[in-house]
């Protein structure tokens, strides 16, 4: 058993973990670790927003164009193509790219083909919307968790290495304990989101400034390997509750500190949904995320169902769960919405 915090990121603590040194988790879990030379992870969400079946072909072509751009020099080490319908009935197709070199990312972003495409006035007049949500956390502000050791997802694929079984999981507060920065910092936000440019309205290009310690989570589920009883338990007992929790965060999340939530499915290369989903949300504070996961009936029920599931299946799970969490500094985030509806992403609650 090892600490979720990679050895080179450990430091003398001024803040204590929630558990004693001899704590033993009730089931195993793993974390992704990057080589010591990696100082930042880049998570880039590149979204296309459309409404109605008649626009889906155009939106899908735009998504494929963005993904084709990933093949340019300095493109992401890994990417996912994803889709979800939001509470306003818009389709959101998002290409999520991961880098472990912020300079390579900046070169890719600033290459004329990429920069020119995003900055072009044409993007405002195509009948669909676009957005970029980019997080560049220092590795001390980033943690991951995997329920099985056989497949990495998301940032883990780019980071490349899985830890041994980790100690800090299986109790409320373990997410915080896995974040290297929590050794010395309470990670409390002091500011608030602000509209940095233009008014959140369709037809506009809107930039939002994030604040210190704004938190991001991608929490994923892969049920493609499940069969028989396990599959039935997942689809009948866990997924409906997960959906209710995601729906709550999307529609009423602002009251619990969640600025934005999307419940998304992975798409394969032909644009077909895969048996893989995830929630992706932005929060005012890590503490708000902790409070929701620990106390909201939907996540408490998901957590309880998962515990029963693990026991019923004698720890032999084919369901794969993972998450990645970042607590961002003010300079580690960039949000731009081009012709999107005013409840999109970080604009939610700020617009007219
Ligand atoms: C099928 C879906 C899900 C299941 C089965 C599930 C189950 C769990 C379990 C078992 C843990 C404890 C992990 C550990 O430390 O070993 C956990 C933690 C957590 N989950 Fe979920 N979860 C699901 C989806 C989500 C989603 C979509 C979100 C957020 C958008 C979320 C937010 C959290 C957070 C923030 C924690 C960390 C709590 C803490 O350590 O203080 N979960 N979840």
| pLDDT for res 271 | 86
277 Cβ below 6 A of ligand 1 = no
Nearest-CA residue for ligand 1 atom 36 is 293
Q: What is the CATH number of domain 31-38+138-187+212-330+343-349?
A: 3.30.70.100
Confirm if 22 and 184 have CB atoms less than 8 A apart: no
Nearest-CA residue for ligand 1 atom 9 is 303
Name the pTM for this structure.
0.96
| pLDDT for res 306 | 84
Please work out, in degrees rounded to the nearest 5, the angle formed at the alpha carbon of residue 180 by the alpha carbons of 143 and 29: 45
**Cα 17 to middle of ligand 1, angstroms:** 18
Q: Which of 247, 279, 293 to mutate to test the pocket of ligand 1 (most atoms within 8 A of CB)?
A: 293
**Cα 121 to middle of ligand 1, angstroms:** 41
Question: Which atom of ligand 1 has the smallest separation from the CA of 305?
Answer: 5
Is residue 154 scored above 60 in pLDDT? yes
**Cα 219 to middle of ligand 1, angstroms:** 7
279 Cβ below 6 A of ligand 1 = yes
Half-sphere exposure of 256 (CA within 13 A, CB side): 20
In this predicted structure, which of 181-185, 267-271, 348-352 has the lowest mean pLDDT?
A: 348-352
Is residue 352 scored above 70 in pLDDT? no
Where do you find CATH 3.30.70.100 in the chain? 31-38+138-187+212-330+343-349, 42-135
Would you state the structure tokens that stand for residue 42, as one six-digit string? 């880049």
> Mean pLDDT, to the nearest integer, of 203-221?
96
How sure is the predictor about 30, in pLDDT bands with cuts at 50, 70 and 90?
Answer: very high
Is residue 333 scored above 70 in pLDDT? yes
Is residue 202 scored above 70 in pLDDT? yes
In this predicted structure, which of 116-120, 167-171, 224-228, 310-314 has the lowest mean pLDDT?
A: 310-314
Is residue 98 scored above 60 in pLDDT? yes
* pLDDT tens, residue by residue, 222-262: 999 999 989 998 999 899 999 999 999 999 999 999 999 99
Would you state the structure tokens that stand for residue 265, as one six-digit string? 């499915």
Tokens 């997942």 appear where? 234
**Cα 289 to middle of ligand 1, angstroms:** 10
* pLDDT tens, residue by residue, 50-95: 999 999 999 999 999 999 999 999 999 999 999 999 999 999 999 9
Q: Compute the residue count for the chain.
A: 352
In three-state form (DSSP H/G/I as H, E/B as E, the rest C), the secondary structure along 69-90 is: HCCCCCCCCEEEEEEEECCCCC
* pLDDT tens, residue by residue, 121-146: 999 999 999 999 999 999 999 999 99
**Cα 30 to middle of ligand 1, angstroms:** 14
* Residues whose CB falls within 8 Å of the CB of residue 72, separated by 6 or more in sequence, listed in order: 108, 111, 113, 114
* pLDDT tens, residue by residue, 256-273: 999 999 999 999 988 899
**Cα 51 to middle of ligand 1, angstroms:** 31
26 Cβ below 6 A of ligand 1 = no
Nearest-CA residue for ligand 1 atom 34 is 293
User: Which residues form the catalytic set?
Assistant: 323
| pLDDT for res 312 | 83
Average per-residue pLDDT in the chain?
95
> Mean pLDDT, to the nearest integer, of 270-287?
96
Protein fold of 42-135? Alpha-Beta Plaits (3.30.70)
* pLDDT tens, residue by residue, 293-328: 999 998 999 888 888 888 888 888 899 999 999 999
Classify 48 in phi/psi space as left (phi over 0), alpha (psi -120 to 50) or beta.
beta
302 Cβ below 6 A of ligand 1 = yes
Is residue 351 scored above 80 in pLDDT? no
* Residues whose CB falls within 8 Å of the CB of residue 59, separated by 6 or more in sequence, listed in order: 48, 49, 50, 91, 93, 128
285 Cβ below 6 A of ligand 1 = no
Which residue in 294, 292, 301, 280 sits closest to 238, CA to CA?
Answer: 301
How far apart CA 123 and CA 176 sit, in angstroms, is 39
Would you state the structure tokens that stand for residue 104, as one six-digit string? 């390579």
175 Cβ below 6 A of ligand 1 = yes
């Amino acid at each position: 058993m090892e600490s979720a915090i990679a050895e080179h990121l450990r430091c003398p603590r001024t803040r204590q973990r929630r558990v004693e040194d001899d704590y033993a988790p009730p089931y195993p879990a793993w974390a992704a670790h990057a080589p010591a030379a990696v100082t930042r992870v880049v998570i880039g969400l590149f979204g296309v927003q459309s409404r109605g079946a008649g626009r889906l072909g155009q939106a899908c072509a735009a998504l494929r164009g963005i993904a084709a751009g990933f093949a340019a020099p300095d493109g992401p080490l890994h990417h996912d193509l994803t889709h979800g319908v939001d509470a306003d009935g818009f389709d959101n197709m998002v290409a999520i790219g991961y880098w472990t070199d912020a300079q390579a990312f900046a070169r890719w972003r600033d290459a004329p083909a990429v920069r020119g495409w995003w900055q072009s006035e044409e993007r405002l007049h195509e009948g669909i919307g676009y957005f970029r949500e980019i997080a560049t956390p220092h590795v001390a502000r980033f943690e991951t968790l995997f329920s099985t050791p056989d497949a990495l997802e998301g940032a883990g694929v780019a980071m490349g290495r899985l830890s041994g079984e980790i100690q800090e999981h299986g109790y409320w507060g373990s997410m915080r304990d896995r974040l290297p920065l929590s050794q010395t910092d309470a990670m409390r936000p002091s500011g608030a989101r602000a509209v940095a440019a233009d008014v959140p309205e369709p037809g506009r290009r809107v930039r939002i400034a994030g604040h210190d310690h704004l938190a991001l989570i991608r929490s994923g589920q892969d049920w493609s390997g499940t069969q028989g009883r396990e599959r039935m338990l997942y689809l009948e007992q866990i997924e409906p509750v997960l959906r209710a929790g995601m729906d709550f965060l999307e529609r009423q999340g602002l009251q619990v500190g969640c600025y934005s939530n999307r419940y998304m499915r992975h798409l394969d290369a032909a644009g077909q949904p895969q048996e893989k989903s995830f929630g992706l949300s932005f929060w005012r504070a890590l503490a708000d995320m902790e409070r929701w996961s620990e106390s909201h009936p939907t996540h408490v029920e998901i957590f309880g169902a998962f515990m029963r599931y693990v026991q019923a299946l004698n720890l032999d799970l084919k369901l794969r769960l993972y998450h990645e969490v970042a607590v961002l500094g003010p300079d580690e985030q960039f949000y731009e919405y081009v012709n999107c509806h005013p409840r999109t992403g970080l604009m939610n609650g700020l617009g007219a």
